[in-house]
Amino acid sequence: MEYNFREIEKKWQQHWQQTQAYKVSNTSHKPKFYVLDMFPYPSGAGLHVGHPLGYIASDIFARYKRLKGFNVLHPMGYDAFGLPAEQYALEHGVHPSVSTEQNINNFRKQLDNIGFSYDWSREVITSEPAYYKWTQWIFLQLFKSFYNRTLNKAQSIDVLVNDFVQNGNINHPIPDENFVIPETGKNQFSAAEWAQFSDHTRELILLEYRLAFCGYGEVNWCEALGTVLANDEVVNGVSERGGHPVVKKKLRQWYLRITEYADRLLEGLETVDFSDAMKDMQSNWIGKSTGAEVQFAIEGSSRSITVYTTRPDTIFGVDFIVLAPEHEWLPEIVTNAQNDAVIQYIDYVKSRSERERIAEKKISGVFTGSYALHPFTGKKIPIWISEYVLAGYGTGAIMAVPSGDERDHRFAKHFNIPITNIFGEAYTGEEAVTTKEAVLHNSDFLTGLNVNAAANAVIERLLAKGRGKKKTNFKIRDAAFSRQRYWGEPFPIQWKNDIPYPLSEAQLPLKLPYVESYKPGPEGDGPLANIEAWTENNYETNTMPGYAGSSWYFLRFMDPHNTQAFCSQQASAYWNQVDIYIGGTEHAVGHLLYSRMWTKFLFDRGWIGHDEPFKKLVNQGMIQGSSRFVYRIHGTNTFVSHGLKDKYTTNTLHVDVNIVDGVELDITLFKTWKNAEFADAQFILENGKYICGTEVEKMSKSKFNTINPDQLVEKYGADTFRMYEMFLGPIEQSKPWDTKGIEGVHRFLKKLWRLFYGESGLIVTDDEPTADEWKALHKTIKKVEEDTERFSFNTAVSAFMVCVNELTDMQCHKKAILQPLLILLTPFAPHLAEELWKALGNAGSILDAPYPAFDEKYLIESSKSYPVSINGKLRTTMLLPLNATQTEVEAEVLKNEVVQKWMEDKPLKKFIFVKGKMINLVI
C-alpha cells in the first residue's frame, strides 16, 4: 500500500473540523499554556513559504504541549485594518471591507491546507465592530486616565480632578514644563484657582495629563499616503510602506503618552525572555540617558539657555554653545549683525529633506552673535546654531566640548573655534577624547577626578548655585496615534468648542460609516471629513493607526465572545501571559512596545493581573527569495546566458523562479510565460543551456521569486511541507528558500509508512522488541523532547530520520516501538500520525495520547567502546567490558599495541578518564 497523503490529509482535516478537535476551554484541571503567533495582515498577495515558518513552529510546540498534558490556547486571527486595503480601494474601487474579507478567506484556505491546530472558534478580526468596540473602549480608558508619577502607575483622571479640587496641581505638576494656563500665564494653580477656571480651561489642563491626548506637534507627514506616520513607520526618511517621502509638519494629532511608561518599558525587559538583540533594539529605541541640565546666562540678557549634557564633568572644556535652528528663543538671541546670516541658514535647513540630512551629514552652522557666560568661570562662550542639534531631544541646546566629543570637535575644526584641552596628553589635537577612563586636566575643582566623581561634583555645585540639576532623558517620543485615513477604528470622540469629549460606553462601538470615496478630506483631514452625518455630530475625523487593534488582541483571544468586557477577569487570570510568542523581528519597536504599554496600562487600572504580555519571544528568521535573472541584449529580443552577458550591453529582468530548474532556464516555459510576451525570444546559450543569474532578495510577487505553499502541499503533502520547513535550519535564522531538499523529507515519510505497510497491507506485529530496537526508540524520545523544548526543530526532524533509518535496517515492524514513535511524530506530521494511529487499531485521537516517557535503562550498553587518545589526539578505539574498574581499563589500555607503539619509551605522565567514556594519555 502506498502512502496516499492527499487522501489521508483531506480525511483528517475534515474530521478535526467536524469534531472541533482543537476547541479549547477556559476551564480545565490541566495546567494552561498559551502559544501565540503574530497574527497576519491579510494582504492580497496571499501566503508565501516564508509566512508558515513561524506558524508551523508554534503549531508543533502547541501540539507538543498538549500531548504533554497542558490545556493549550493556540488561536489565530487577522490584523485587518490598515493602509494597503485602502490603497487598493483607491486604485480599484473595491471597498476595503470587501477586499479584506476576500483576503481573509484566501488566507484561511491556505492555512487550513497545512493542518494547523488553531482554535478557530476564537478567531478575531480587528476590523469587525464586535472587536473594535473594545479597541475604542480601551482608548477611552486611556483618555480618561493619567499617569501618577508619585505612585508610578496610571489612574483614573477622576483621581487627578479630586486632587486638583483639594490641592491644586502641587502634587501633580503639568508634565510639559512649557505649558502655560491661558487664564493665569502660569503652569501651577491652587485649589482656589482650579475652582475659578472655566470648563474650557479645565479641559485644556486635563488634556495635558491624559494618556491619550490631542495636541499640536511636529509629525511625520507623508503626502503620497496622505497621512501622518509614527516614528517606527518611517525608515531612512521615507515611509516604511511604499517608500514615499516623509516631511515634518505641524498638525493637530492624537498621541499616546508612552513616554510616561519609558522607564517601566525598560525595566520590564529584565523580566521577559526575549533575545538580546530584541532587548537592545527596544532599549535603544527608548534611549534612556542620564546627565545634567545646565543653565548658561546670556550676556546682556535676563534669559539663560538650558542645555542638556551626559558629560557634565567636561564643563570646563566648553568652547561654544549650539542651539537647534528651531530653538524658540532664537529671535531674542540673534544680534542684528548676524540676523541675515541666521535667517539664511534657517532657510537652508528647511530646504533640506530628512533624507538629505541623513545621507549627507554636512558640517554646517552659523554664529548668532551672542555670547553665553560660563557658570563657574564667567568666560564668554559664543552661541551658534546648527542642524546637528535636534530640537526634539533634550532642551534643543548643547554645550559643545570639542576636546571631548567628536561632533563638537569636527565643528570646531571646521569653523576654526579655539579648542580648550581638558584631557592633558590624552588629547593630541587630532581627535576628541571620548573614553570614560580619561582623567580631567585644566578643570579647576575637577582636575584629577575621573568621570563619575567629576560629574557628581559639578551637579552638586550647579545645584548650590541654582544653575543646573541632574536630569534623565529619553529618545522615545509620545506615539502619534491618529491617521488621516478611512480604514481604521474611528475615535469615540466628539468635539465641542475645540475640546474633545469621550463618548459614553453605551455609544460603543462607534461604527465606521460606509463611504463611496476614500479621497482625503480638506486640510489634511481623513475621508471621514467628507461625510456630512459624521461631521454634523462633530465626531473626530481621524482614525486610529494600524497598531491600535494589535496592541491587545492577545487578550481578546482569551475571551473572544465577551460582550460585557474586552476580556473577563477570570479569563485573563487563567491564561495570564502568552507563554510563547512567535514572530519576526520587524515588530521590535512598533507592535511589541505598544503591546507592552497597553498591557501595563490595563494592569495599572486593574483590569488584568499581569503587566508584561509576552513571557518568551521567539523570532523566526525571514525566508528570502532566491531570484533568477535573464539578460536581454539592449534593444533586441535576444537573451544571453549569464556567463556571456558581459560581452553585450544588456538589460536585466527578473524571471519567474518556477520556470527555472536550478539556474537553467526552461526555454519552452519561458516562451509561454507572461502571456507569451517572450514567444519570439532568441537565445545565446552556453554549453547548450541558458544559465540565469541569481540573487537572494526579499520574497515578493514583483520579483517573481515567491514560492506558493499550496503547490508544495499539493505535490508532497502538508506533513512533508511542515517537516521540510522545520528541517531547513534553525528557526531564528534567515535563509533563502530552496525547494530541492524537500524530496529527502518526503522520502523519510514514505520510509516510515513502509514500516507499517507492506505491499499487501499492515505488517505491524506484537512481537517483543530487541534491546537495539528499544534503544533506537528511547534515543529518539530523549532527543526529540529536548530539541522541541529548545525550539530546535531541525535537529528533531533529523532525529526522526535517524530512527526510521535504524528501524528500517533492523526490519522492525513492532507495535511496541512504532506506536510511541507515532505519538512523538504527531506535532510534526499530525495527519500521518493520526492515520497510522487508527490503523494500529487505537480508539480515540492521537492528539490526546500521552507523550511517551523516556527511560534511561534502554540506553545502557553491555560493553563500552572507549576512544583512546594520546595527547588529545585520537589513536585507537577499544571495546572493553562495562563492569571493568578504572584500574582494569588502564591495564588493558597500556597493553594495547597501538598505544604501545605511540608511547614507545616515553614515560606516561597522566591518565585521564573523560565522562567515563573516553580515555586520554598524556606522555
Find the binding residues for RNA in span 290-349 (CB under 7 A).
291, 308-311, 324
Q: For cell 477611552, name the residue.
A: 140
Min CB(826)–RNA separation in Å: 19
Phi, psi of 239 (to 5 degrees): -70, 140
Scan residues 77-106 and list those touching RNA (CB under 7 A).
none
For RNA, which stretch binds (CB under 7 A), given 331-339, 355-363, 424-432, 842-850?
A: 355-363
Output 254 or 902, the one with its CB closest to RNA.
902
Scan residues 394-423 and list those touching RNA (CB under 7 A).
394, 396, 398, 405, 407
Output 192 or 853, the one with its CB closest to RNA.
853
Query: Can you tell me which of 515, 763, 880, 918 binds RNA, judged by CB under 7 A?
Result: 918
Query: Can you tell me which of 336, 740, 841, 887 binds RNA, judged by CB under 7 A?
Result: 740
Scan residues 586-615 and list those touching RNA (CB under 7 A).
588-589
The pattern of x and - marking residues 820 through 859 that bind RNA according to CB under 7 A reads ----------------------------------------
Checking DSSP bridges between strand 499-502 and strand 289-298, what pairing results, if any? unpaired
Q: How far apart (Å, rounded) are the C-alpha atoms in residues 863 and 879?
A: 7
1: contact with RNA by CB under 7 A: no
Min CB(619)–RNA separation in Å: 10
Query: Can you tell me which of 728, 777, 824, 889 binds RNA, judged by CB under 7 A?
Result: 728
Output 97 or 473, the one with its CB closest to RNA.
473
For residue 878, the SS3 value is strand
Query: Can you tell me which of 7, 646, 743, 848 binds RNA, judged by CB under 7 A?
Result: 743
357: contact with RNA by CB under 7 A: yes
Query: Can you tell me which of 29, 561, 790, 857 binds RNA, judged by CB under 7 A?
Result: 790
DSSP 315: G
Scan residues 210-269 and list those touching RNA (CB under 7 A).
231-232, 235-236
Scan residues 855-914 and list those touching RNA (CB under 7 A).
865, 867, 869, 871-874, 877, 910, 912, 914
Query: Can you tell me which of 469, 647, 747, 906 binds RNA, judged by CB under 7 A?
Result: 747
Q: For cell 541654582, name the residue.
A: 466
Please name the amino acid found at residue 61. F
Tell me how many residues contact RNA (CB under 7 A). Answer: 84
Residues 6 or more apart whose CB falls under 8 angstroms from that of 217 comprise 250, 251, 253, 255, 478, 480
Scan residues 449-488 and list those touching RNA (CB under 7 A).
473, 475
Query: Can you tell me which of 101, 193, 208, 787 binds RNA, judged by CB under 7 A?
Result: 787
Min CB(787)–RNA separation in Å: 6
Query: Can you tell me which of 97, 494, 795, 842 binds RNA, judged by CB under 7 A?
Result: 795
Question: Is the C-alpha dihedral spanning 395, 398, 404, 406 positive or negative?
Answer: positive
For RNA, which stretch binds (CB under 7 A), given 110-118, 254-262, 534-542, 789-797?
A: 789-797
549: contact with RNA by CB under 7 A: no
Checking DSSP bridges between strand 735-736 and strand 623-633, what pairing results, if any? parallel
Write out the three cell numbers for 729. Answer: 535550519
Q: How far apart (Å, rounded) are the C-alpha atoms in residues 797 and 805?
A: 12
Q: How far apart (Å, rounded) are the C-alpha atoms in residues 894 and 908?
A: 10
Min CB(177)–RNA separation in Å: 16
For RNA, which stretch binds (CB under 7 A), given 488-496, 607-615, 727-735, 822-830?
A: 727-735
Query: Can you tell me which of 7, 176, 199, 280 binds RNA, judged by CB under 7 A?
Result: 280
For RNA, which stretch binds (CB under 7 A), given 149-157, 356-364, 564-572, 816-824?
A: 356-364
276: contact with RNA by CB under 7 A: yes
Q: How far apart (Å, rounded) are the C-alpha atoms in residues 859 and 780?
A: 11
Min CB(366)–RNA separation in Å: 14
Question: Contact, 211 vs 149, CB < 8 A?
Answer: no
Distance of CA 631 to the CA centre of its chain: 38
Query: Can you tell me which of 6, 362, 647, 906 binds RNA, judged by CB under 7 A?
Result: 362
Output 531 or 589, the one with its CB closest to RNA.
589
Looking at the DSSP bridge assignments, the partners of residue 623 are 735
Region class of 844: left (phi > 0), else alpha (psi between -120 and 50), else beta: left
Region class of 891: left (phi > 0), else alpha (psi between -120 and 50), else beta: alpha
Radius of gyration of the chain (CA): 34
Looking at the DSSP bridge assignments, the partners of residue 874 are 869
Distance of CA 324 to the CA centre of its chain: 32
| CA distances, 607 to each of 284, 378, 614 (Å) | 30, 56, 17
Output 605 or 783, the one with its CB closest to RNA.
783
CB atoms within 10 A of CB 679: 12
809: contact with RNA by CB under 7 A: yes
Work out the angle between the directed axes of helices 830-839 and 718-727 (0-180°, nearest 10): 130
CB atoms within 10 A of CB 743: 12
For RNA, which stretch binds (CB under 7 A), given 23-31, 384-392, 606-614, 684-692?
A: 384-392
Write out the three cell numbers for 321. Answer: 554653545
Write out the three cell numbers for 799. Answer: 532525529
Min CB(466)–RNA separation in Å: 21
